[in-house]
Amino acid sequence: MTMLMTMERKEWQRRLGEIVHGRIAFDEPLAAYTTLRVGGPADAIVFPESIEEIRGVVRMTRAQSLPLLVLGGGSDVVVRDGGFRGVVLRMGRNFAGSRVIAGDRIEARAGESFPSLLRTARTGSLAGLEFLATVPGCVGGGVATNVGAYGQWFADVLVSYTLLDRDARETNVPRDQMEFGYRYARLPEGSVITGAVFQLTMKPRDEIEETVRNYAQSRRDSQPLRASSAGCIFKNPDNAKQAGYLIDKAGLKGMAVGGAAISEQHGNFLINRGGATANDVLTLLAEVRKIVKKRYDVELEPEVRILGEDE
C-alpha cells in the first residue's frame, strides 16, 4: 500500500466516523456476518441506526469512489477469502423493527429479521408470511431476492418498499412499479433498500400458528437447519428437475472439499462442517456443477451471490 493510499484510507475512515454514530469495524472478517461462516476481511463495516447515517455513507462512498456492499442477514452470500475492498453497510439488528399499521399491514425496516417480522404478524393475527418459518434473512434482502417458499413470495404481499438511490435520494416504490422474478427484483444500480410495507390478511391466530408449525417441521425434516449454510446453493433450473434432486441422483450428497460439504440431508445445501474456507466452498460448487452438467446436461446456476476478492 502506497503512502498516498494509506492517507486516503485514513481520511475516509475518519469521515465514516463522523457520519456513523454506531459501531464501525475495520479489517474485520466477514465470516462472522454470513450464515455460511466464510469470508475474509472488509476494509470497513458500518452499522447505521438511521436513514441519515445510511444517506451519509452512500454519499461518502460515491464521492470517494469506494465500493459499497449492503449486507443484511448474510444468507445467500459467499464472500471470498480475500474479503471486500470497500465499505460494507450492515443492515441487521442495528436497523431493525416492524409494526402493524392500518390494521392489516406491517411496516418494517430493512434490517428486520424474518423471525421477528413473522412474530409481529403472528401477534397481530395477520396471515401471509408463514412461509418464512425458519428461513434466515432480513427484509431488505428478502425484497432484493423476492424470497419465497412453498409457492409463496414476498412479491405476493408487498405493497411498497423504500430505497435510497445511488445519489442518496429516497424513493417509495409502489406495487404497480415493482418488477419481480424467481429470486430476483429489479432495483436501481447502487440503491439501498431501507424498508417495506406488507399487505396481509386477518386470520385466527391459532390457524396461523398451526401453519407456521407445519412449515417449520417440514424444514426440520428435510433441511440441515443446525448446520452453517447459505441456504439453497443453486437455483432450480427451468424445465428440469429441482437442483437438489439432480445433485442427489448424481450421488453427490456428502461430497466434500476441505471443510465444505454437500449436506447428506438435502442435496441443494452446502454446509460448513468446520473450518471451511471460501475457496473450499467455491471449489466444491464448481465440481458439483461440472458433474451435473456432464451427467444430465443441466447447467446449475448459483443462487448465492459470490462477492469479494481471492486471497
Q: What's the Cα-to-Cα distance from 91 to each of 53, 177, 292, rounded to whole Å?
A: 12, 24, 36
Known active-site residue 232: yes
Q: Which member of 183, 205, 289, 305 is catalytic?
A: 183
Q: Which member of 53, 112, 138, 232 is catalytic?
A: 232
SS3 12: helix
Query: Phi first, then psi: what are they for 32, rounded to 5°?
Result: -70, -15
- Other CB atoms closer than 10 Å to residue 82's CB: what's the count? 15
Strands 77-79 and 305-307: parallel
Known active-site residue 303: yes
Known active-site residue 130: no
C-alpha span between 131 and 216 (Å, rounded): 9
Residue 195: enclosing H or E segment and its boundaries?
strand 192-199
Q: Which member of 53, 107, 112, 303 is catalytic?
A: 303
C-alpha span between 119 and 132 (Å, rounded): 10
Structure-block grid coordinates of residue 234: 443453486
For the annotated catalytic residues, the residue numbers are 183, 232, 303
